[in-house]
Structure 1
Amino acid sequence: MGDVVKYQALGNDYLIVDPRGGGTDLGTEPAPAAVRLLCDRHRGVGADGLLLGPLNEPRPGAAAALRIFNADGSACGMSGNGLRMFALYLGERYVPEWRTGTPFTVRTPGGDAQVRITDAADGRVRVDMGRARFTPDGGATATAVPLAGAGPDDEVTVTDLHLGVPHTVVFRDAVDDELVRRLGPALAWHPRHPAGTNVEFVRVRDRRTLDIAVWERAAGAVPASGGGACAAAAAAHAHGLVGPDVTVRMPGGEVGVSVAPDGRISSTGTA
């Protein structure tokens, strides 16, 4: 198999399978069944997903290539928590200068992300997630979505955007586990999203703080999501609900998210 290690960020855990650390049977396009088995918490190692990399030699000045897979075996374009874990792994295993704050780039199918280890001892990493692309018209549009059989929520107002992967943000005055488990699957696999979408349920606590809960299309309810935190902050900022710098609080912990004047979104948290 080669080297396999597990990292976690705010309770969201990933396996890192390093094809450069030894022989691996997964290849660069691992069979979904193999990923599912590795991520199975009863028959495998257990994880919310798998990070396959580095796929090239990590060195200063070059982007380190990474493939990301969900626990169900499907490919994932981008993961904020996953990028923080992978950044720490690269700094610890391959390029010591990256542990001292030198920025570097990780290349994913969802785009290039610049990362910086701001505190190696604390596992704190800053990730530039790029610009959010709101759908369908490029602006932050609130859309009413009908949900048959959703009880009191037969119509839910959402904001859709793409940030490496698709996201659907739902603003509510209160967010609890019952709401997430009732509406999460219905929105994640609504007919308007044939390939699925990650759903963020958001309570605006104040201009600098968001409380969110996340239902991922491939993993269900998760304790935290770096990408979900960025999507929630991007949508809240676009709607004028928060300022450019916010703390996003999740059941697994919190991250800081910043929206730059040019629209680029970055998050800082631990792994």
Structure 2
Amino acid sequence: MQIDVLKCHGSGNDFLLIDELTNRYSFTEQERAGLARLLCNRESDLGADGILYIMDSSHADGRMRIFNADGSEASMCGNGLRLVARYICEMKQKKEAIIETMKADLKVSKQEEIFPDVATYQVEISPVSFKLSDLPLQLPQESLRNETIPELTEEVAFTALAVPNPHIVAIVEKAQLDSNLQKDLSQIVNGPNKWFPDGVNVSFVNWLKPGHIYVRTFERGVGFTNACGTAMSASSLVTCLNDLNDFEKPINVYNNGGKVQCVVHQNDNKYWIDLIGNATYVYQAVVEVDLAKQSFVVSSQTKFTEQKAYEKLQAEVQTFLNTEMKG
């Protein structure tokens, strides 16, 4: 089969975007998962963290489904949603839109550039739940906030939350970031284990100064990634709950792929986050796929020039982190 794909990224979290809305592809569920495993393979001519499928919606401007590189489907993806937001807004010539996702219809909008010549979009991250049953996390309690899981590790305390993807977030020192602790824990909770039957995203957060944090995430179904939008949103919320940052004020969130901004909102016991960052197009390609033979050929590719501007943002971020993360 012949498929048009758009290679794009949010904070270096890269995806292949496939438009089922206008191309009218008729993929089966097995084909969507199979395409993700085949095309996202880093040893292939494409490679990505996942595939974003844009589909028709009966009540919203469009629908997003996200399949990870291992073929599993995620309920949400913040970085991916920014890319879908751009695609839908430009297609429909809108500055604001509503995107249907697995768990909620979410508001998205075009924003002022976070950095010169970097296309920037804001997306809503919700709903937020601290119920362990929503991750799920199997412990004899209703929630986990700034607590250790003794049988797993006593070195760091975690907060567990679903946004709606499952996350555990730990605020750590740089020495813990530099160790193998995050990798070792992440592999345990994303393999056969008694706590997380469906796996979980694991984020280590280093607070730099008011309004500035660094987040590194081991993403379920992917592994260590340049950035995870829902993880950065969840991490921002956790820092506010720990009085390290303020609700309703922008938080600069730095990651291995660049940076975003998050604004955490609170109304009684309800929380939601605005995630603001780049939506960068890398290239368009036409791909000839044979799923039966597990092979594909890129028949044509047209590059965009947007990555150059984003690389300037990355350079600025690296300079900042080299200064702030010493010790």
TM-score (norm 2): 0.72
User: Could you tell me which of 73, 91, 95 is aligned with 2:92?
Assistant: 95
Residue 14 (str. 1) matches residue 15 (str. 2):
yes
SS of the residue 2:124 aligns to: strand
| TM superposition shift of 1:23 | 5.2
- Tell me the residue number matched to 2:170: 170
User: Could you tell me which of 254, 269, 283 is aligned with 1:249?
Assistant: 254
| TM superposition shift of 1:107 | 0.6
Q: How does 1:127-142 map to 2 (within 5 A)?
A: 127-136=123-132, 141-142=145-146
- Structure 1 residues 223, 253: closer, same or farther in 2, change over 3 A? same
Aligned length: 259
Q: How does 1:120-199 map to 2 (within 5 A)?
A: 122-136=118-132, 141-146=145-150, 153=153, 155-174=155-174, 175-176=177-178, 178-189=180-191, 190-199=193-202
2:96/2:109 contact within 8 Å kept:
yes
1:78/1:111 contact within 8 Å kept:
no
**Greater shift after overlay, 80-89 or 102-111?**
102-111
Q: How does 1:68-87 map to 2 (within 5 A)?
A: 68-87=66-85
Residue 45 (str. 1) matches residue 46 (str. 2):
yes
1:84/1:126 contact within 8 Å kept:
yes
Unaligned 5+ segments in structure 2 are 133-140, 280-327
User: Could you tell me which of 104, 108, 127 is aligned with 1:111?
Assistant: 104
SS of the residue 1:133 aligns to: coil
Cα deviation code 1:83-129 (max 9, x no counterpart): 0111111233x211x2xxx3211111132211001148531000111
2:11/2:260 contact within 8 Å kept:
no
Matched AA of 1:180: Q
SS of the residue 1:30 aligns to: helix
- Structure 1 residues 44, 23: closer, same or farther in 2, change over 3 A? farther
Q: How does 1:57-68 map to 2 (within 5 A)?
A: 62-68=60-66
- Structure 1 residues 184, 80: closer, same or farther in 2, change over 3 A? same
Q: Which has the higher contact order (CA 8 A, sep 6+)?
A: 2
Unaligned 5+ segments in structure 1 are none
1:180/1:221 contact within 8 Å kept:
no
| TM superposition shift of 1:31 | 4.7
2:82/2:122 contact within 8 Å kept:
yes
1:77/1:165 contact within 8 Å kept:
yes
| TM superposition shift of 1:219 | 0.6
SS of the residue 1:116 aligns to: strand
Matched AA of 1:129: I
Partners in 1 of 2:253 and 2:234 — Cα distance?
Answer: 10
| TM superposition shift of 1:168 | 0.5
| TM superposition shift of 1:29 | 5.7
| TM superposition shift of 1:213 | 0.6
| TM superposition shift of 1:177 | 6.4
TM-score (norm 1): 0.86
Percentage of identical aligned residues: 28
- Structure 1 residues 139, 193: closer, same or farther in 2, change over 3 A? closer
Residue 220 (str. 1) matches residue 216 (str. 2):
no
SS of the residue 1:183 aligns to: helix
- Structure 1 residues 31, 15: closer, same or farther in 2, change over 3 A? closer
Residue 269 (str. 1) matches residue 277 (str. 2):
yes
- Structure 1 residues 29, 83: closer, same or farther in 2, change over 3 A? farther
Instruction: Say what the alpha-carbon RMSD is for the aligned residues.
Output: 2.4
